[in-house]
Amino acid sequence: MISLRYHIVSITAVFLALAVGVVLGSTAISGRLLSGLNDDKSALGQEVSTLQAERNALDARVADSDRFATSVGPLAVKGQLAERTIVVVTTADAKPNDRDALTELLRASGATVTGEVQLTESFADPDKADQLLNLVARLQPAGTQLPTGADPGTRAGALLGTLLLIGKDDNQPQATPDETAAALGGLASAGFVKPGENVRPAQLAVVLTGGAVRGDSAADRAATVARFASQLDRSGAGTVLAGGSGSADGTGAVGVARADTAATSVLSTVDNVDTAAGRVVTVLALREQLEGRSGRYGVAGNAEGTAPGAVG
C-alpha cells in the first residue's frame, strides 16, 4: 500500500527535478545570452572607435583650414575697406575672441574702427521692451525722425543708427557730439548699452552676435537683435549681421533675419564668424554693402553661398 509519506517524497522529487532543470536550462540560456551581449558590445565598441577616429580626422582638417584662413586672411582682405570707417556693435553673447579677431582683420583691410557699443541682456529682454521704447523716444536727437509704431529693436536701431553712422548721401554725422554723448549715456544709465570710449560715427557697421539664443523668450530676443541690425543698415552705407555657430537656426538672430525678406533685401548676414574664414567673409560682405548689394553667407542650410561671389 502506498503511504502518504511515499506521495510526499515523490512530489518532492518531482519539484526538485524541475528546479534542477530550470537552473541548468537558465544557466545554458544565460551563457548564450551573455555571449551574444559580449559580441554586441565588442561590435559597438569597434563602431564607436571608428566614428571617433573619423571625428578626430575631421577636427584636424577643420583646424588646418582655420589656421590657413587665419594666415591668409589679412592678405585676402587687404585694401578691401581702405579709408573706410567701421563701428562695431556687439550683443551680450558675442565672444570677445571673435570680436578681437574681427577687429584686427578690419584694420588689416585698411578700415578704421571708430569704436564699439555693446548691447546688454536687457536690450533684448521683452519684459523691458516698453521701457526701451519710451527711453528711445526721449533720447531722439532734435530734427531726426524715428519709425512710428515700430518694435523696440527697430526703433533702437534707428536711434543708434543716427548716433553711430554718418549719412550715406552726404557722409556727415547725423547727430552732434553732445547729442550722441547724451543719448548713449541715457541708454547706458538704464542698462541697455555699454559704450566704449570715444565712439565716433562711421560709414559702416558690424553687429556681432553669438550663436543660437536659448532659454525663455528666445525667439523675441533674437528678433529684437535681427530687427535692430536691419534698421541700422538703413541708417548708413551698410551693415553686416555676423553670428557664430547656431546663429542661423530658428533661435538665432541671423536665422530670424534670413527669414525676413525685407531684411535680406538690404542686410548682409554671416553665420560662421567664429571661424577665420567667416571673419574674412564678414569683411568682404561689408565691401559688398558699399556697392549696394547684400547676401546670406556661411555654412548653414539657409546661406546662399560661402562668400560673396561664391553663391551656390
Rounded to an integer, the average pLDDT of 247-257 is 93
Rounded to an integer, the average pLDDT of 57-73 is 56
Whole-number pLDDT of residue 76:
87
- Is 274 within 8 Å of 300 (Cβ atoms)? no
Q: Inform me whether the pLDDT recorded for 67 exceeds 80.
A: no
Residues 102-127 as b or e (16 or more Cβ within 10 Å = b): bbebbebbebebbbbbbbbebbbbbe
Rounded to an integer, the average pLDDT of 127-133 is 96
Whole-number pLDDT of residue 251:
85
Whole-number pLDDT of residue 148:
80
More confident residue, 143 or 112: 112
Whole-number pLDDT of residue 46:
67
Q: How far is 55 from 58, CA to CA, in rounded Å? A: 5
Tell me the whole-structure pTM to 2 decimals.
0.80
Whole-number pLDDT of residue 64:
44
Listed range (20-29, 136-145, 163-172) with the worst mean pLDDT: 20-29
- Is 243 within 8 Å of 209 (Cβ atoms)? yes
Q: Inform me whether the pLDDT recorded for 160 exceeds 80.
A: yes
Centroid of chain to Cα 194 = 20
Name, in order, each residue with C-beta under 8 angstroms of 91's C-beta and a sequence gap of 6 or more: 118, 119, 123, 124, 207, 208, 209, 210, 225, 253
Helix ranges (H only) for the chain are: 4-77, 96-108, 129-139, 152-164, 177-189, 218-235, 253-258, 261-264, 276-290
- Is 235 within 8 Å of 266 (Cβ atoms)? no
Q: How far is 128 from 198, CA to CA, in rounded Å? A: 27
Name, in order, each residue with C-beta under 8 angstroms of 138's C-beta and a sequence gap of 6 or more: 186
Whole-number pLDDT of residue 173:
94
Q: Is 77 exposed, middle or buried (0-12, 13-18, 19+ CB in 10 A)?
A: buried
Q: What is the pLDDT of residues 184-197, one digit of tens each?
A: 999 999 999 999 99
Whole-number pLDDT of residue 250:
84
CA dist 128 → 52, 121, 124, 188 (Å): 46, 10, 8, 14
